[in-house]
Amino acid sequence: MKTVNLTINGKAVTVPANYTILDAAKQLNINIPTLCYCAHLGSDEINKPASCRVCVVEVEKRRNLAPACATPVMEGMVVHTNSQRALKARRTVVELMLSDHPQECLTCPKNQYCELQKLAVEFGIREIEYKGEINKFPVDCSSNAIMRDLSKCVMCRRCEAVCSKVQTVGTLTGYGRGFKAKVGTASMIPLADTSCTFCGQCVNVCPVGAITGISYVKKVWAAINDPTKTVIVQTAPAVRVAVGQEFGFAPGVPVTGKMVAGLRALGFDKVFDTNFSADLTIMEEGNEIVERIKSGKNLPILTSCCPGWINFIEHNYPDLLHIPSSCKSPQQMFGAIAKSFYAEKIGVKPEDLIVVSVMPCQAKKYEAARPEFAPNGVRDVDYVVTTRELCRMFKEAGVNLANMDDEEYDSPLGASAGAADIFGVTGGVLEAACRSVYFMLNGKELEGEAINFHEVRGLAGIKEAQVAIAPGKTINVAVCSGLGNARKVLDMVRQDPNRFQAIEIMACPGGCINGGGQPFLHGDAGLLEKRMKGLYSEDERKVIRCSHNNPDIQALYKEYLGTPGSEKAHHLLHTKYHSK
Amino acid sequence: MSCCKKLSEGAEAKFAELDAFIATLGVDRNDERRRGRLIQVLHKAQQIFGYLPREVQQHVACKLFLTEAQVSGVVSFYNYFTTEPKGKYCVDVCMGTACYVKGSEKVLSELERVLGIKADTHPTEDGLFSISALRCVGACGLAPVMMVNGKVYGKVTPAKAVEIVNEYKKQG
């Protein structure tokens, strides 16, 4: 590899020739502040339009200041990252940005998580010299998942890059020019009318409060405090390895028991687990996989637990809508079972039972509001809050997870197998399905190490593998995360429908651990890796690793549903997809 | 992507003309240069339709294998492209430096007052006139300058501008 020698702040360093000044400075542990720069997780895509000029540095023998994020290193280069000239320019840049930014930090949803605010703190900005016109754009709350407040937009265009290049959804674009420029949709139509999948990756990368989730926290508090309602909560698999981040736990450490205790302390009547319905999903989807493999029809089967991905296929691949599994997602299966089986069991009317989901996701808010998931006008899932929003609720109520003792989930919708935990990471759903499909096809359990399908694990965007579903019999599978990768895999399916028999797809790169509602990762792939390991450790911790061995699932079929794929199961747990 | 579905009544011939033009470019899905063709196609589309409503943008996006957002971003960036229909007579008032110091702003506001419309918005109710404020048209010696459908009028005053417009109004 060709290398280059340069000096930064008097320190000599040798780096690969394709490095930028910013890359080289990182190698020396020299911090250069950035704003528009963003390494998008799960892809090679790096957003560096060099438009914000926050990372400018002084380069000797160069007339103007250089943006460190986009300036390649050169042999013999002498760089000063903190010269008076560079510091002054950076300060001016941030002051100019703030001069056209609503000064609403105290009430902004991104207060204390805002990268612009952080820069203002670091630069010690105390007054803004520049006064003038301030853009005031209308707030777009048209969807039930994502809110866009463009008056706060700093035109870093991270959202546009993640939407069009990583996810290939292409909803966002730079719109207009000059002072009035903003990141918009086509013809500035409301987000709800676009092909947005609500994956929420734009929410994750927005450095400021211009794109945030729509919050139902107030409604959840109101329900908890309404004596006429029974309020139950379900927690998605990926939440347990991310929520600790906000309470001083090491990244990725599962805090399941403390979270359960915390939810009880908030006042939920029962604390249940989406893991339970993840096991249920495996029973139904496993049954479907077995049937399709036996009949050879409608293959490959695609997983259907991710609502962002379902929105994507409904918008972009109407010709393939017959191949996703007809299973509802675990969130919706939980809602359907809660409002039927559980409501009957405890003698509460479905409309008086409030189901709250804690999800790592923005698209789950859209999914919960789909009309087909509100039989007789009563929604199966009433409110969705994200992991980030749950952390805020804990803090609001003075619940510090670090001080909580572990507690167990409630019965009968709280127990789960290890297979359910790994739903939260790319590859996990397929692995969980394979464990049970093997049993369904052969009538015997996978033994020893065979239960771990290492070939579908890891954070690679697209994984292809052959997995054993019976002694001596394998099927070809693909696992992908990130909608850009989903597009590649679906194009493969269009070209050769026989290439794969089963495919798992997650909208967010890495799966739900990197969901649009998770505590911010700020481009740190290491944190993602730790969350993944946290979920696999939860799986290994459990005695019961396969969904079909979950005793509460077995009891649910015995008492209520009959068998997987029964008429009742179909009615409650399956759905149809619509071309959009 | 659900484009190419609805066409306004009576617009089929226009879309056909646009499609014929796009066909001569030989763009295909894998052509990396297709984004570079976009401005050329939008120029043609505006020439045919007079403006670029959302429907036309969606059509262009579909034909060039781009997203609607990509097309919309380009249309919104360039002043030349308009998403509002133009009047039968397009009145352009030069707001370049020379014309401006010679009083073109007064000409513009008088025209806006007399016609009852604002520059760079919708046309008059009878569809006859629309007004645009332009940058330098390169006829500074004649400042202030206005144009009607490309015909140049020099050294105009607010009163003279109204006379010119009234002449066109008579023609209908």
Q: What is the pLDDT of residues A403-460, one digit of tens each?
A: 999 999 999 999 999 999 999 999 999 999 999 999 999 999 999 999 999 999 999 9
Q: What are phi and psi of A493, to 5 degrees?
A: -65, -40
Residue B115 sits in the same domain as residue B167: yes
> Contact, A519 vs A243, CB < 8 A?
yes
Among B34, B35, B68, the residue to mutate for chain A (most A Cβ within 10 A): B68
SS3 track for B35-51: HHHHHHHHHHHHHHHCC
pLDDT at B1 over 70: no
Give strand pairing partners of A173: A184
Percent of chain A past pLDDT 90, that is, above it, reads 97
Helix H or strand E encompassing A291: helix A274-295
Domains of chain A: 3-97 (3.10.20.740), 135-213 (3.30.70.20), 218-573 (3.40.50.1780)
pLDDT higher than threshold 50 for residue B2: no
pLDDT band (50, 70, 90) for residue B136: confident
Q: pTM of this prediction?
A: 0.93
Is A156 annotated as catalytic? no
Distance CA A454, CA A439 (A): 18
DSSP A92-122: HHHHHHHHTS---GGG-TTTTT-HHHHHHHH
B115 CB burial (10 A radius; 0-12, 13-18, 19+): buried
pLDDT of residue B8: 60
**Residue B48 domain-assigned?**
yes
A461 burial level (CB within 10 Å; 0-12, 13-18, 19+): buried
For residue A578 the two structure tokens come to: 């619509």
pLDDT band at A43 (very low <50, low <70, confident <90, very high): confident
Q: Which residues does A313 contact at the CB level (< 8 Å), separation at least 6?
A: A302, A320, A321, A324, A486, A490, A577
- CATH number for the domain harbouring residue B105: 3.40.30.10
- Last-in-domain residue among B77, B102, B130: B77
Q: A276-298 burial by CB neighbour count: b if 16+ within 10 A, else e? A: bbbbbbbbbbbbbbbebbeeeeb
Please identify which of the residues A215, A304, A325, A481 carries the catalytic annotation. Answer: A325
B27 and B65 in a single domain? The answer is yes
For residue B44, tell me if it sits in a domain.
yes
Average pLDDT over residues B12-17: 94
Q: Does residue B120 share a domain with residue B70?
A: no
Nearest to A176 among B54, B57, B76 (CB): B76
**Does B135 reside within a domain?**
yes
B39 is a domain residue: yes
- If pLDDT is split at 50, 70 and 90, which confidence band does A542 have? very high
Pair B53, B93 in one domain = no
What pLDDT is stored for residue B9 in this prediction? 61
Rounded to whole angstroms, the Cα distance separating A548 from A419 reads 10
User: Are both B96 and B163 inside the same structural domain?
Assistant: yes
Is there a domain that residue B116 lies in?
A: yes
Q: Please report whether residue B6 resides in a domain.
A: no
pLDDT in tens, A340-373: 999 999 999 999 999 999 999 999 999 999 999 9
Q: Is A357 a catalytic residue?
A: no
The mean-pLDDT minimum among A281-295, B4-18, B38-52, B131-145 falls in B4-18
For residue B67, which residues of chain A lie inside 8 Å, CB to CB?
164, 170-171, 173, 186
Distance from C-alpha of A332 to C-alpha of A354, rounded to nearest angstrom:
13
Check residue B116 and give its pLDDT.
Answer: 95
Q: SS3 for B76? A: helix
Active site residue A285: yes
How many structural domains are present in chain B?
Answer: 2
Same domain, B69 and B94: no
Say what the ipTM of the complex is: 0.88
Average pLDDT, chain A: 97
Q: What mean pLDDT is reported for chain B?
A: 90
The predicted-structure confidence for A119-148, as pLDDT tens digits, reads as follows 999 999 999 989 989 999 999 999 999 999
- B73 shares its domain with B97: no
| Mean pLDDT value of segment A257-270 | 98
Look up A325 and say whether it is catalytic. Answer: yes
For residue B120, name the pLDDT band (cuts at 50, 70, 90). Answer: confident
Answer whether B161's CB lies under 8 Å from B168's CB.
no
A-chain residues within 8 Å CB-CB of B77? Answer: 174, 176-177
Domain residues for B143?
89-171
- Give the one of A170, A315, A316 whose C-beta lies nearest to B69's C-beta: A170
Q: Do the domain assignments include residue B1?
A: no
Q: How far apart are CA A403 and CA A380, in angstroms?
A: 33
Mean pLDDT of the region A203-224:
98
* Marked catalytic residue, from A288, A389, A431, A504: A288
Helix (H) or strand (E) holding A8: strand A3-8
